């Protein structure tokens, strides 16, 4: 990966899910890097973390290819993403969630407290990735410019860092954001 364009990282151990993600994100022309286990995900975050604006992580995955599935291994990726100021969600499916469904968890607390978040179509289908994408965009559609501006000020005050609007791809930006890019 040589370009400096903002990118997405997706880590999921199921090939069918990766193919569905590729189908959806390729249709949007988003640059995306894919990992299939905890080790690959950590390597990508370590090497290219400064280029990611979004991480989408499965919860249960092997440490390495062919290894035993580790429950909630994706939390390690979330911790790394958080340390690198990358927004992330957990996109996880299976019976772990009380039934054969795909869930989106927006933070570690939802996972650790087993609080179910929003269910979507299976992530083995491009439609499931589209639903996730729409869930991520939903808050931006309703946020007024002043709310975004206040959020950015809080972020900068809390982190001591200047918010980099360039990390947000044009496809995800809305009115207020566009005037700063």
As a whole number, mean pLDDT of residues 106-126 equals 66
**What sign does the CA torsion over 74, 75, 81, 86 have?**
positive
Per-residue pLDDT of 30-66, as tens digits, reads 889 999 999 999 999 999 888 888 899 988 887 877 7
pLDDT at 118 over 70: no
pLDDT at 179 over 50: no
Specify which residues 69 forms β-bridges with: 62
The percentage of residues in the chain with a pLDDT greater than 70, rounded to a whole number, is 64
Q: Output the average pLDDT for the chain.
A: 75
Domain parsing of the chain, residue ranges: 7-141, 143-181
As a whole number, mean pLDDT of residues 137-150 equals 58
- What is the gyration radius of the CA atoms in the chain, in angstroms? 16
Second CATH level (architecture) for the domain 7-141: 3-Layer(aba) Sandwich (3.40)
SS3 61: strand
């Amino acid at each position: 990966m040589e370009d400096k364009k903002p990118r997405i990282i997706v880590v999921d151990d199921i090939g069918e899910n990766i193919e569905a993600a590729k189908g959806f994100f390729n249709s949007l022309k988003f640059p995306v890097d894919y990992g299939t286990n905890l080790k690959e995900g950590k390597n990508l975050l370590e090497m290219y973390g400064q280029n990611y604006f979004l991480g989408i992580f499965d919860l249960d995955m092997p440490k390495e290819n062919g290894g035993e599935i580790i429950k909630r291994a994706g939390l390690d990726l979330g911790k790394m993403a958080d340390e690198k100021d990358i927004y992330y969600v957990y996109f996880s499916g299976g019976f772990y969630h009380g039934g054969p469904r795909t869930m989106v968890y927006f933070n570690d607390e939802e996972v650790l407290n087993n609080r179910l978040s929003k269910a979507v179509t299976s992530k083995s289908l491009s439609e499931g990735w589209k639903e996730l994408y729409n869930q991520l965009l939903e808050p931006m559609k309703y946020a007024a410019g002043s709310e975004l501006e206040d959020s950015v000020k809080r972020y900068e005050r809390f982190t001591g860092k200047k918010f980099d609007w360039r990390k947000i791809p044009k496809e995800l930006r809305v009115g207020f954001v566009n005037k700063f890019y």
